[in-house]
């Protein structure tokens, strides 16, 4: 029987090859190769640069729908204050809050309400064509909206109009 043992040092690793053979039997014995790291390590190197961020993951599945919320309280209508005024200043129709309407002079009108409308927004539309319509809060009465109607040449004109007050 012949036994061969080879040891070599390759880059800090020991390589061991061993084998066995039975003489004249024609059988080969077991052979093995193994390597191991050297017992000593050198100093640790500097940390490398940070890599680029990876791609975004896929979108997750949507969550279950939450329970329905409690119903809210009923609100007040946005157009609770409105009036349609004829060319002569008389009230054609309006909300319950309108207390009066009148023409003060050609193309100038006042519409009175049962509450303070001084801090509200006004929208006025003339039914005549072509007319320019403007509205502002009353100078001497906080419950009045003053409306002015003019033609395109800036001449005061009488015409029917609609007024909406938003508070």
**Domain 81-166 coded CATH 2.40.10:** yes
Label residue 39 left, alpha or beta by phi (over 0 means left) and psi (-120 to 50 means alpha): alpha
Q: What is the CA radius of gyration of the chain?
A: 49
Please write the tens of the pLDDT for every residue from 12-37. Answer: 444 444 444 444 444 454 544 444 55
**What residue spans define the domains of the chain?**
2-36, 81-166
Please write the tens of the pLDDT for every residue from 65-95. Answer: 999 999 988 887 777 899 999 999 999 999 9
What is the pLDDT, as a whole number, of residue 17? 42
Only one residue has tokens 């007024």, namely 163
**What's the CA gap between 98 and 82, in Å, rounded?**
7
The total number of residues written for the chain in this structure:
167
Please write the tens of the pLDDT for every residue from 33-57. Answer: 444 555 688 888 899 889 899 899 8
Helix (H), strand (E), coil (C) string for the chain: CEEEEEEEEECCEEEEEEEEECCCCCCECCCEEEEECCCCCCCCCCCCCCCCCCCCCCCCCCCCCCCCCCCCCCCCCCCCEEEEECCCCCEEEECCCEEEEEEEECCEEEEEECCCCCCCEEEEEECCCCEEEEEEECCCCCCEEEEEEEECCCCECCCCEEEEEEC
**What's the CA gap between 151 and 48, in Å, rounded?**
80
Please write the tens of the pLDDT for every residue from 93-150. Answer: 999 999 999 999 999 999 999 999 999 999 999 987 778 899 999 888 999 999 999 9
With b for 16 or more beta-carbon neighbours within 10 A and e for fewer, the 28-48 pattern comes to eeeeeeeeeeeeeeeeeeeee
């Amino acid at each position: 029987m012949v036994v061969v043992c080879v040891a070599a040092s390759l880059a800090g690793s020991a390589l061991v090859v061993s084998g066995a053979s039975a003489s004249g039997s024609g059988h080969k014995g077991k052979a093995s190769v193994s390597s191991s790291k050297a017992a000593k390590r050198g100093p640790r190197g500097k940390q490398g640069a940070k890599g680029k961020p990876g791609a975004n993951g896929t979108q997750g599945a949507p969550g279950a729908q939450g329970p329905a919320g409690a119903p809210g309280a009923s609100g007040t209508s946005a157009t609770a204050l409105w009036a349609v005024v004829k060319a002569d200043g008389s009230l054609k129709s309006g909300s319950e809050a309108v207390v009066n309407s009148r023409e003060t002079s050609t193309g100038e009108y006042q519409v009175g309400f049962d509450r303070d409308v001084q801090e509200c927004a006004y929208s006025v539309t003339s039914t005549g064509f072509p007319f320019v319509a403007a509205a502002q809060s009353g100078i001497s009465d906080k419950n009045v909206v003053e409306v002015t109607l003019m033609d395109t040449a800036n001449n005061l004109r009488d015409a029917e109009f609609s007024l909406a007050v938003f508070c």
